[in-house]
Amino acid sequence: MSSIGVSKRLLKTVLRLIEEMTILLTKDLPARFADVIGAGHVLSDEAARDAYAHDRLPFANFVARDGDRVGTLPGLVVRPASAEEVVDIVRLAAEADQPVIPYGSGSGVLGGTIPLKGEVMIDMQRMDRIVDLNLDDNLVTVEAGMNGGAFEEALNTKGYTCGHRPQSLEISTVGGWAACRGGGQESSRFGKIEDIVVGLKAVLPDGRLLEVRPLPKRATGPSILDLIVGSEGALAIITELTMRIWKLPEAEERLVLALPDRSAALGLAKRIMQAGLHPRIVRLYDEKETAGRTKGIAEFGDRPVMANIVLCGETDVARAEAALVRRFAKDVDAVETDTRPFDEWLKNRYVSITKQWLDKGYYNDTIEVTVNWSQTTSLYDSIAEQIAELHPEAHFSAHWSHVYPEGVCQYMTFRLPPMDKDAALPIHARIWQIAQSETLSHGGSIAHHHGSGLFRGAWMDEEHGVGMDVLRQVKAAIDPQNLFNQGKLGLPARPGSVDPHRDRSADV
């Protein structure tokens, strides 16, 4: 984009921000919020608002290198300390017709917390207590703003785990996990967050407090729990979650395997899951990702695909499952190697390398999709082929680290070398289009665990079909003023907002 274009956009943004702040002040909202939560927890200075204006959406980071932003600054940031304070804030906002966005830690990668018209950010991080640990029912109740790492550590200290360990464990909140329908590195055993959460409390856009009592199962109509888990702040603000917990396993068996090709590795994972085993970790890497992790290990010379598999539980069970996996592995000509690559991964399991690429000027992004086993190889090949045609140095690689009896999450990394933004962004947009539309045409889902946020809105109609009409109607019924996280999840934005579904290749 030319410097005139940038200045025009900046000017427009500044004018919009002045307008938004003026509206907020006219409504006297800062003072009214301060009456509820204390003036110290109402942040209105520009630096504070700027810190809440973005999450980890890679596209936003690309344009931020030129000082540009995808959305607007928030009008205000409020930091409640209890569900009652959230209720009061929501009631005041509804009265003033002021849109809000619940904010966990801003670790989302789809722009889910990006304001589109000076929304008020409701930062949940002061709500950070474990409310109850029930070792009879194996349940933990926790406030939604608790940091994931602190939460898991507190459970580990007592000899338990909730089994949800996203790579972003240390930079995300438990409420954000549920809001995005996230998946952790041990999902093959413990399930995704929707399998772990059994109850919750949440504030609706009219200020009522919704409670789903924590129970193993019920048959009382459609699941209200499932309506809220994955609603990305657009239907409710989650204030409390009750989750399953498990005793830390007595024993663990680790296998690192070298396999002749991708289809052998995928076939092995499929057999393990369809045999009803419960591996704690299954990580399969394509040739490129294997090569980066196995330098100097001879077995990978003629077997270029790696599988890391961890079995756990009572000692006898872990051993028996490991013995079965070793037998299955032999059938696909896999050989076991030393565990160095897995040990290295374990040491760095919460470390992200995205920033390193960003700082060097690269355009690095990841896209995770779900696909059934029967379609996996074809999906991988068709995306790989099309990416290779886009640019001679375009990087594409994938791993599979969430496996199920029916299929798998394909986690893909795409990277463009340092180049002019005007050239890179249309290719980046094309990469997203290829990955999402190929997934859909292979019968898959456009997202496995990162959610939809802002960036995936364009594909939500194709993902859900008539179901998207249902979602729009549910949103309109629960939130007729469109107050909660407007314009996300492919849902409509309020008039005058930044267009959440615009063609981003035109942002140059």
Ligand X SMILES: Cc1cc2nc3c(=O)[nH]c(=O)nc-3n(C[C@H](O)[C@H](O)[C@H](O)COP(=O)(O)OP(=O)(O)OC[C@H]3O[C@@H](n4cnc5c(N)ncnc54)[C@H](O)[C@@H]3O)c2cc1C
Q: Which residues bind ligand X (CB under 6 A)?
A: 55-56, 101-109, 112-113, 124, 144, 166-168, 172-173, 175-177, 179-180, 182-183, 232-233, 237-238, 352, 449-451, 453, 485, 488
Specify the residue, 286 or 365, whose C-beta has the smaller distance to ligand X. 365
CB of 77 to ligand X, least distance (A): 12
CB nearer to ligand X: give 44 or 105: 105
Distances from the Cα of 264 to the Cα of 160, 381, 412, angstroms: 35, 15, 19
Nearest to ligand X of 304, 487 (CB atom): 487
Tell me the CA distances in angstroms from 129 to 146, 158, 177, 333, 501, one per residue in order.
6, 15, 16, 49, 37
Q: How far is the CB of 71 from ligand X (least distance, A)?
A: 13
C-alpha dist (Å) from residue 238 to 59, 104, 126, 418: 27, 10, 13, 40
178 or 325: CB nearest ligand X: 178
Q: Which strands make up the sheet holding 100-103, listed edge to edge?
A: 42-43, 76-78, 120-123, 100-103
Pull the structure tokens for residue 402: 């969430």
Q: How far is CA 360 from the centre of its chain?
A: 24
How far apart CA 200 and CA 240 sit, in angstroms, is 5
Give the list of residues 6+ apart from residue 499 with CB closer than 8 angstroms, or none. 493
Nearest approach, Cβ of 127 to ligand X (angstroms)? Answer: 8
- Compare residues 375 and 401 and give the one whose CB is closer to ligand X: 401
Specify the residue, 407 or 453, whose C-beta has the smaller distance to ligand X. 453
Q: How far is the CB of 168 from ligand X (least distance, A)?
A: 3
Q: Is 133 exposed, middle or buried (0-12, 13-18, 19+ CB in 10 A)?
A: middle
Return the ∠ at Cα 408 (arms to 144 and 252), rounded to 5°. 70
Minimum separation from the CB atom of position 449 to ligand X (A): 4
Write down the least CB distance from residue 36 to ligand X, Å: 18
CB of 496 to ligand X, least distance (A): 20
How far apart are CB 310 and ligand X at their closest, in Å? 16
DSSP string, 151-189: HHHHHHHTTEE-S---TTGGG-BHHHHHHHT---TTHHH
Phi, psi of 155 (to 5 degrees): -70, -45
Asked whether the beta carbons of 166 and 185 are under 8 A apart, the reply is yes
**Smallest gap, in angstroms, from Cβ of residue 298 to ligand X?**
31
Q: Torsion angle of alpha carbons 351, 353, 359, 360, nearest 10°?
A: 150
The secondary element (H helix, E strand) that includes residue 209 is strand 209-212
**Least Å from the CB of residue 454 to ligand X:** 9
In the complex with ligand X, which residue's Cβ is closer, 313 or 453? 453
- The residue among 110 and 264 lying less far from ligand X, judged by its C-beta, is 110
93 within 8 A of 74, measured Cβ to Cβ:
no
C-alpha 369/C-alpha 439 separation (Å) is 7
- Least Cβ distance, residue 374 to ligand X (angstroms): 25
Q: Which is nearer to ligand X, 241 or 379 (CB)?
A: 241
**What residues have CB less than 8 Å from 326, skipping those under 6 apart?**
255, 336
Could you give the CA distance from residue 47 to residue 481 in angstroms, rounded to a whole number?
29
The residue (of 99 and 176) whose beta carbon lies closer to ligand X is 176
Residue nearer to ligand X on the CB measure, 179 or 435:
179
Alpha helices (H) along 303-456: 315-331, 340-347, 354-359, 373-390, 421-441
